[in-house]
């Protein structure tokens, strides 16, 4: 469990760095659409970000192979305070409190989940059901993004990516723990969900600041993954009512901190650095 948490924490740090690099790469390309994705291959910053994210993904896979989804997935939220701090030259008291709330809430959630979570298999029927639920959620977010612009569009795209990545976390664990046998339902679902999530993230970078895109995906990602783990996979069968209330409370504290961080960046004084901009 300790090794899994360490891998997930390191992966979260690298995810923040990779996200900042890819954001710069997308902005270098200019007006990005689905048909213009091939232009990203010509951006050194974007390719470097891809390499960093590849290492982060490998660490996340290792973490998911060693610990339940309910424990590993929430640690992805730590990417947001890190990427937010990258673009902050002067840390205010409010910003510091927001970061402490986000990280403290996640730390509490992980500590509670680690005591009650038990790793389980992912039956094909559950994988299909999870895929259907997530596909519906992603469709709603994409529809909202199509009807909005600017920051709202970026957040909707990021939330859709977060939902897809939440499913990825669950299916990665199933594939990693099933080798050398390959569960094809989970493998195909994993590939599709990853491609959808990655595409929505790049489109989100083209519509809004990197910290808001990371905020959207890191909020929705662990919520979706933890919901699948707790509800569909029953990874917390012995969790009592008090534990569940504590989990919800710690998650709410973390989400409140994340919302405050995103609000801080939207209202930063003119002239202060913007996360991810060159």
Query: Any idea what the Cα angle at residue 199 is, between residues 261 and 225, rounded to 5°?
Result: 60
The proportion of the chain whose per-residue pLDDT surpasses 90, expressed as a percent, equals 19
Residue 141 has pLDDT above 90, yes or no: yes
**Are 256 and 97 contacting, i.e. CB atoms less than 8 angstroms apart?**
no
State the chain's maximal CA–CA distance in angstroms. Answer: 55
pLDDT in tens, 177-219: 788 888 888 899 999 999 999 999 988 888 877 777 887 787 7
Question: pTM value?
Answer: 0.77
**Are 97 and 42 contacting, i.e. CB atoms less than 8 angstroms apart?**
no
pLDDT for 272 = 44
What is the spatial distance between Cα 92 and Cα 196, in angstroms, rounded to a whole number? 36
Residue 266 has pLDDT above 70, yes or no: no
Helix (H) or strand (E) holding 218, with range, is helix 210-227
Place 27 in a pLDDT band, splitting at 50, 70 and 90: confident
pLDDT for 267 = 61
Place 274 in a pLDDT band, splitting at 50, 70 and 90: very low
What is the spatial distance between Cα 165 and Cα 257, in angstroms, rounded to a whole number? 21
Task: Specify the 3-state DSSP secondary structure of 208.
Answer: coil
The proportion of the chain whose per-residue pLDDT surpasses 70, expressed as a percent, equals 87
142: closest CA among 126, 130, 127, 153? 153
pLDDT for 137 = 95
Place of tokens 């650095």: 273
Q: Could you tell me which residue, 116 or 25, shows the higher pLDDT?
A: 25
| Tokens encoding 99 | 């970061």
165: closest CA among 104, 117, 225? 225
52: closest CA among 88, 13, 86? 13
């Amino acid at each position: 469990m300790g090794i899994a948490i360490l891998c997930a924490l390191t992966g979260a740090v690298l995810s923040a760095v990779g996200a900042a690099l890819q954001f710069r790469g997308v902005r270098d390309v200019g007006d990005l659409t689905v048909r213009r994705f091939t232009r990203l291959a010509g951006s050194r910053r974007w390719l470097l970000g891809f390499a960093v994210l590849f290492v982060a993904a490998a660490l996340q896979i290792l973490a998911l192979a060693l610990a339940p989804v309910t424990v590993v997935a929430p640690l992805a939220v730590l990417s947001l305070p890190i990427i937010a701090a990258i673009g902050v030259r002067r840390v205010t008291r409010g910003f510091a409190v927001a970061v402490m709330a986000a990280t403290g809430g996640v730390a509490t959630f992980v500590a509670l989940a680690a005591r009650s979570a038990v790793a389980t298999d992912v039956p094909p029927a559950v994988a299909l059901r999870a895929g259907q639920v997530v596909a519906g959620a992603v469709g709603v977010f994409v529809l909202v993004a199509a009807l909005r612009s600017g920051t709202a569009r970026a957040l909707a795209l990021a939330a859709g990516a977060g939902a897809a990545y939440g499913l990825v976390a669950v299916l990665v664990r199933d594939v990693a723990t099933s080798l050398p046998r390959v569960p094809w339902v989970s493998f195909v679902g994993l590939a599709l969900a990853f491609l959808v999530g990655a595409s929505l993230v790049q489109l989100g970078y083209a519509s809004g600041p990197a910290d808001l895109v990371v905020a959207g995906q890191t909020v929705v990602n662990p919520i979706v993954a933890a919901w699948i783990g707790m509800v569909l996979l029953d990874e917390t069968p012995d969790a009592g009512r008090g534990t569940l209330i504590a989990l919800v409370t710690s998650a709410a504290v973390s989400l409140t901190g994340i919302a405050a961080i995103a609000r801080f960046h939207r209202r930063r004084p003119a002239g202060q650095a913007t996360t991810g901009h060159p």
